Structure 1
Amino acid sequence: MRLLNTNGHQDNDDIKEFAEWILKLGNGESATNDDGEKLIDVPHDLLITDPSEPLLQLIQFVYPDMVSHLTDPTFYQERAILAPTLESVEKVNQYILSCIEREEKEYLSCDYACKSDEDNDVEAAWLTPEFLHEVKCSRIPNHKLVLKKGVPVMLLRNLDQSSGLCNGTRLLIEDLCPNVIGVTVVTGTNSGKKVYIGRMSLIPQDSGLPFKFERRQFPLAICYAMTINKSQGQSLSHVGLYLPRPVFTHDQFYVAVSRVKSRKGLRILILDDEGEITTSTTNVAYREVFENI
C-alpha cells in the first residue's frame, strides 16, 4: 500500500516486483523449517557491500549532509535507521552523536528500588544505586543521557496527547537547560511547535527483572536509530536496516523493509558472526499465524 500510494516516477514493474518480494517475506512463503525461519538472499541493489566503513555508508545514505540539517526538523520526519535490538540501536546512535562537533550535556538519573519490593526474593542490599544505574530496559531512558543541540530524540512516555506529545513522538533538541530540555516537535499534527520537557519518575513495566525500581530522568532517547518494533505504523522515505545479528521474531524483517515508500529508499547492512559483510540473512515468519485468517 505504501508503494502504490507513493507519488513519483517509479517504474510500475519495479514497484510490483518490490511489493511482491515484501509480501512473500511477510507471508512466510519461503519458510522451510518448523521454526518459520529461512535464510534468504537479499537483492544486491538493496545492500551495503563496500567493506570500507559500511556503517558510515549506511548513515550517509539515510542522513546525507547531516551537519547542515542540524536545525531542520523536517529533515528527520521520514528518515530512520532500524535495528532488531536495543544494543544495536545504541551503537548507531552513539556513533552518530560522536560525529557531531557540538558541546554535549550529560544528564544523570536518580534510581532507587520500589518499597513494595522489599519482601521479594532479591536481597535489598544488592539493589544499590550503582547497580540500578546499570539497568537498561525498553521504554525507559538510560541512567546517563548525553545530548547535543540539533540531535533528534524520541519521547518515551505519553505527556499530552491533545498536543501530540505521545510515546514515539520524535523531537529535535534546541535548548539544554539544567532542569528542562527545549525541543521542537518533528512528527505529528504539531510539527514545528516548541515545547519543554521535564524529568519524570518512571517505573519500567514487564522488564523481566525480579524487582521494581524507579528512575527519575528525562523521558527521552536519541533516535537517529530505533528498534524495528518501534517503527511499526510509520511511513518513511529513507530507511537503513542495520543487522549485526539476524531478526528473531515473527515478521520483524518484513516490518523493517515495508516502512519505505520506494525501493530506492531502502539500504540494508548485514554482518555475519565475525562482523564481515554478507548478502543473506534470516527471515522469521510463522505460517500458522495466517491459517485462520
Structure 2
Amino acid sequence: MSNGTLNDNSENIQIPDRCVANINSDIVADTYGDMIKNKQYRIASKHAILSGRNIDVDEINCRVINSLDEETQQIYTSIDSTETTSDEGGINHEAILTEYLNTLNPPSLPPHELRLRKCAVIMLIINLSISKGLFNGTRLLVLESSHNILRCEVLTGSKTGEIG
C-alpha cells in the first residue's frame, strides 16, 4: 500500500474478502472465541483486532477479558494525587481534582482501572528490561497476578517462552 503497488489509478485499494467482517458478525467471538474455548491462549498473540477509535478498543478489550475466568481477575488502579497551590494572598487552590484525573485515558498510558485475568494477552507500553525481552510492544500471557505483581510468559521476540 505505502509503495503504491496495491493502489489503482484512483488511489483505491482492494481489501481481501477474508479481512471484511459481516455487519452482523461478532468480531470478538470470530477472532478469539475458538482459541479461548480450546484454551489455546498463546495463539492469541498472533491475532489482533484493529480499530480507529480508542473507545472501541476499550470495549473490545473488555469483552475479551470478560470471556476469561472471572475468578482470576485482578483490578489495578492508578495511584494519583494532586498538589495544592497557593497564590500570593495565601489562598489554596487545588490544581486538578483526582476524580477528573481518573477519567483521563491518554493513548500512551494504561487506564485508571485496569482489569486483568489469567490467560489475558497483554502488551507492554514501556521498556522494562531490554536484555530480558521486556520492551515496548512485547506481548505477554498473564500466568498469575497478585496485588502488585504479574507473572507472565513472553509471547513475542527473541525471549519467547521465557517467564518474566
Aligned to 1:85: 53
**3-state DSSP class of the match of 2:75?**
strand
Aligned to 1:150: 119
Aligned to 1:48: 21
Residue 170 of structure 1: which of 139, 142, 157 is its match? Answer: 139
Q: What percent identity do the matched residue pairs reach?
A: 26
* 1:112 matched to 2:81: yes
State the TM-score, normalizing by the size of structure 1.
Answer: 0.47
State the TM-score, normalizing by the size of structure 2.
Answer: 0.79
1:27 Cα deviation (Å)? 6.0
Instruction: Answer 1 or 2: which has greater strand percent.
Output: 1
**3-state DSSP class of the match of 1:171?**
strand
> What amino acid is the match of 2:44?
Y
Aligned to 1:289: none
Residue 186 of structure 1: which of 152, 155, 160 is its match? Answer: 155
1:173-206 deviation per Cα after TM superposition (whole angstroms, max 9, x unaligned)? 11111121111111111111111xxxxxxxxxxx
1:68 Cα deviation (Å)? 3.9
- Confirm or deny: 8 A CA contact 2:83 2:94 kept in the other structure: no
- Confirm or deny: 8 A CA contact 1:71 1:150 kept in the other structure: no
Q: Indicate how the Cα distance of structure 1 residues 178 and 86 shifts in structure 2: closer, same or farther if over 3 A, else same.
A: same
Q: Indicate how the Cα distance of structure 1 residues 147 and 25 shifts in structure 2: closer, same or farther if over 3 A, else same.
A: farther
Aligned to 1:259: none
Residue 10 of structure 2: which of 11, 30, 46 is its match? Answer: 30
* 1:139 matched to 2:124: no
Q: Indicate how the Cα distance of structure 1 residues 43 and 163 shifts in structure 2: closer, same or farther if over 3 A, else same.
A: closer
1:85 Cα deviation (Å)? 2.4
Flag structure 2 segments of 5+ consecutive residues without an equivalent: 87-91
